[in-house]
Structure 1
Amino acid sequence: MTQIEAPAVTPFRTKLNSPLTKNRITVLQINLGKRCNLACTHCHVDAGPKRTEELSPEICHQIIDLIHRFPQIKIVDLTGGAPEMNYGFKPIVEAARETGKEVIVRSNLTIYFEPGFDYLPEYFAENQLKVVASLPCYLEDNVDKMRGNGVYNDSIRAIQWLNQLGYGKDPNLIIDLVYNPPLPLSDKFSLTPNQVKLEQDYKKFLKEHFDIQFNQLFTITNLPVGRSKFHLQRTKLYSPYLRFLEDNYNASTIEHLMCRDELSIDYLGNVYDCDFNQMENLGAKSRTGETLTVGKLLEAGSLDLIDQIRTASYCYGCTAGCGSSCGGALV
C-alpha cells in the first residue's frame, strides 16, 4: 500500500492495528470541477473563479450509467468548486433522484446571487436536495476573513431564502451548516470545538439575529491539503500541525471514517478513496493493484473492487479528537 508521509510523524498505517479496509460502497462523492465564484483561504480543492477544469460530457454519461446500474448507491454527494457551476450538475441530480437516491449538494450559498443561478433554491426544493453549506462561523468578521468580503451577508440571505422554501422546517428539506476553524497562525493549535455545543450556539445566534433555522452543524477539521497545506508550509507550521494531529489520534474514529463506504470521483473520471486523496492525487487501487476509473468500474460490473484504503499523514486530521468527516464529528 503506497504511502505519502511527512517527516516527524508516525506513518498512519503503523498507527493502525490492521489494514484500513473498505466496506460495501453506498456513497458516491463526485467533484464536478474546480469552477467556483469564491476562492476561500481554507479551500482544499484550490477552486476559484479562474479555474476552468470541469466534468466532460463523456465522464458525465459514465457517472449517470453508474448511478442507474448500482442500486447499492444510497447517496450521491456533489461537490466542487461550486458544483452548481460545473458541467453535469443537473443531469446527475436528476439521474440520482429518478433512481431514489439521496442527493447532497455542497453549496457555498453565495452562488444563488450570481447571474444565471437564481433558479437554484427553488430547484433544490423541487428535487428535495440536501444542502450542506459552509458557514465557518456565526460571526460576520470571521467568515469574511476566510471566504471573502460580503460572503457572510450573502450566506445569511441565501439561508433565509431556503428557509422561506421550507428548508430547516420541512423534514424533506434539510440544510446543514459546516464549521471550519480558522487557519492557525502559530503553533498554539486546537481541535474543533464540541459539535453539539457549537451547534446550540449557532442556532441561538442565527435565530435571534436573522430568524434562521437549520438542521445540523458539522465541525470539520482543516486537513493539511490544498490551500490549507500551502498556508501551513508558508508559515512553517506544516510538520508541527501534523504532529499535533497525531498526538490527538483517537482510535475509536476508525470504524466511522467516511472513506470506508464511499468512492470519490474527480472530473476526469478517476476514482479515489476520499476527497482528500483526490486532491493529493493518491488514486484508489483495486485488490489486484490496478488504478481505478469510472470506466473500469462499469467494465467490472462492481463498485467493490477495493480491499485496502490508501492512507497518508493527513489521515490524522480525520482521526484527531472527535474525528472529522464530510458529515462532521465521528464520535
Structure 2
Amino acid sequence: MVEMNRKLTINYRSQKKSTAQIMIQTSITPFARKLKTPLTKSQIKVLQINLGKRCNLACTHCHVEASPKRTEELSPVICSQLIQVIERFPEIQIVDLTGGAPEMNYGFKPIVEAARQHGKQVIVRSNLTIYFEPGFEDLPEYCTRHQTRIVASLPCYMATNVDKMRGQGVFDASIAAIQTLNRLGYGKEPELILDLVYNPQLPVSDRFSLTPDQHKLEKDYKIFLQEHFGITFNNLFTITNLPVGRTLLHLQRKKLYASYLEFLESNFNPNTVEHLMCRDELSVDYLGNIYDCDFNQMMNLPAKTRAGETLTVAKILAAGTLGVIDEIQTAPYCYGCTAGSGSSCGGALTESRE
C-alpha cells in the first residue's frame, strides 16, 4: 500500500450554477427526430443508484460534479425504500452503485448486502483512491467478501494523463489499489471481476475524435499494465465524454460546445440504439427521484410515466411494478451514447466502425 498525498491537486472551480440549470440552444437535429420512432423501455434489469455527490476527488471530466466539498448523499428513508425495491422486484439483475465515490456515501454497505442476499450482481464504480482514505481501508476486503464487481476509472495507462484529469498522485494510488485487488483475487478469480474505464482527454480544439477501438485499446492496457506493474484485469470499457457536468462547462469555456455536438451527431450510428443503457435501466438519485439514465439525472431531465408524471422510488413501490415508463426522455447529449461504436456504462455498444 502507498501513502497517498492527502491534499490532491484538484482541477476544480466552484460553479454558481449547476449544469442542469444551464439552458443551451443548438442547431443540431433533435435526437428524438433523428430516431424517427420513440425510444422505448424494455424490461428493467438494472437499478443504478447515485448514492450522493461526496467524493475524495474532483475530476475535470466528472459529469456528476462531485468533490470533497459536496455533502449531498442518500438519506435513511430513501435507502430503506431502495432496499425494498431490490427485495420486491426479481427482474432486477444488477444493482449499479455510483456517486461521487459511492463508498463514501450513506447506504453503501446496506444496499450492497441487501442486493447480494437477493442474488443480484452488484457493481461498484470506484475511483480506487478511496481505499487510502481514513476509515475506508477495509473496502478491498469488503468488496471481495461480497463479490462485488468493481468498475474502476483509469482513463489512461500513462501517469501524466491520469493525473491531469483526476489530480496529482491519483495514478500511483490507482495502481497500488489495483495491485491490492489482484492480491485478493480480483481480475483472476471468476467471481471477482475487475473492469477498468477509459475516458479520452477533454478536447481543447475542434479536432475531435471518437474513442479508440475498445478491443484494441484493452490489449494495449493489458500489455502495458502487466509489463510495468504486474496488473491483470477483466475488461476495458471505453466511454465517450458526454457534454454534461464538468465536461459541458469545459466545452463552454473553450467555445466548443456546439461544434462538439455537431461532431457527435455527424457520427451517429443507428446500430447502437437497441443497445442503449437507458433501455433496461432505472437511474435513481440520492433524493429518490427516477431518471432514464445517469446523464439525464445530472441534467435534471426526469423519467415520466405514460400519463406524463415524474417518478420516485416511493411511487414505484406504490405502483408495484417497474413497467411504468414507455418512452425514454432524450436530449442533444444522447448523441454521445450513439456516436461511432456507442458508449454506455459498460463501454462500447457495437463493434468498431473503423
Alpha-carbon offset, residue 100 of structure 1? 0.2
Alpha-carbon offset, residue 17 of structure 1? 2.5
Contact kept, 8 Å, 1:195 with 1:219, in 2: the verdict is: yes
Aligned counterpart, 1:265: 284
Matched, 1:328 2:341: no
Q: Secondary structure at the match of 1:29?
A: strand
Alpha-carbon offset, residue 5 of structure 1? 7.0
Q: Residue deviations 1:115-147, cap 9 Å, x none?
A: 010000000000000000000000000000000
Matched, 1:214 2:214: no
Q: Which one of the candidate residues 115, 126, 130 is aligned to 2:145? A: 126
Q: Which one of the candidate residues 260, 276, 280 is aligned to 1:241? A: 260
Q: Which runs of 5+ in 1 are unaligned?
A: none
Alpha-carbon offset, residue 33 of structure 1? 0.1
Contact kept, 8 Å, 1:62 with 1:294, in 2: the verdict is: yes
Matched, 1:96 2:115: yes
Q: Which amino acid aligns with 2:108?
A: F
Aligned counterpart, 1:228: 247
Aligned counterpart, 2:164: 145
Aligned counterpart, 2:334: 315
Q: Sequence identity of aligned pairs in percent?
A: 73
Q: Residue deviations 1:267-306, cap 9 Å, x none?
A: 0000000000000000000011110000000000011100
CA distance in 2, matches of 1:218, 1:206: 15
Alpha-carbon offset, residue 6 of structure 1? 3.9
Q: Secondary structure at the match of 1:259?
A: helix
Q: Which amino acid aligns with 1:186?
A: S
Matched, 1:35 2:35: no
Contact kept, 8 Å, 1:5 with 1:312, in 2: the verdict is: no
Aligned counterpart, 1:284: 303
CA distance in 2, matches of 1:73, 1:170: 24
Q: Which amino acid aligns with 1:282?
A: L
Report 1:69-84 matches (<5 A).
69-84=88-103
CA distance in 1, matches of 2:102, 2:291: 18
Aligned counterpart, 2:63: 44
CA distance in 1, matches of 2:341, 2:25: 23
Aligned counterpart, 1:295: 314
Q: Which amino acid aligns with 2:115?
A: A
Aligned positions, number? 328
> Given the two structures, how large is their TM-score scaled by the length of structure 1?
0.98
Counterparts in 2 of 1:5 and 1:235: CA distance versus 1, 3 Å: closer
Aligned counterpart, 1:56: 75
Q: Which amino acid aligns with 1:54?
A: E
Question: What stretches of structure 1 move > 3 A for 4+ residues in a row?
Answer: none
Q: Residue deviations 1:128-179, cap 9 Å, x none?
A: 0000000000000000000000000000000000000000000000000000
Q: Which amino acid aligns with 1:142?
A: N
Matched, 1:86 2:108: no
Matched, 1:194 2:228: no
Contact kept, 8 Å, 1:5 with 1:313, in 2: the verdict is: no
Q: Which one of the candidate residues 124, 133, 138 is aligned to 1:114? A: 133
Aligned counterpart, 1:14: 33
Alpha-carbon offset, residue 8 of structure 1? 1.4
Alpha-carbon offset, residue 23 of structure 1? 0.2
Q: Which amino acid aligns with 2:152?
A: A
Alpha-carbon offset, residue 223 of structure 1? 0.1
> Given the two structures, how large is their TM-score scaled by the length of structure 2?
0.92
Aligned counterpart, 1:179: 198
Q: Which runs of 5+ in 2 are unaligned?
A: 1-22
Q: Secondary structure at the match of 1:221?
A: coil
Q: Residue deviations 1:246-281, cap 9 Å, x none?
A: 000000000000000000000000000000000000
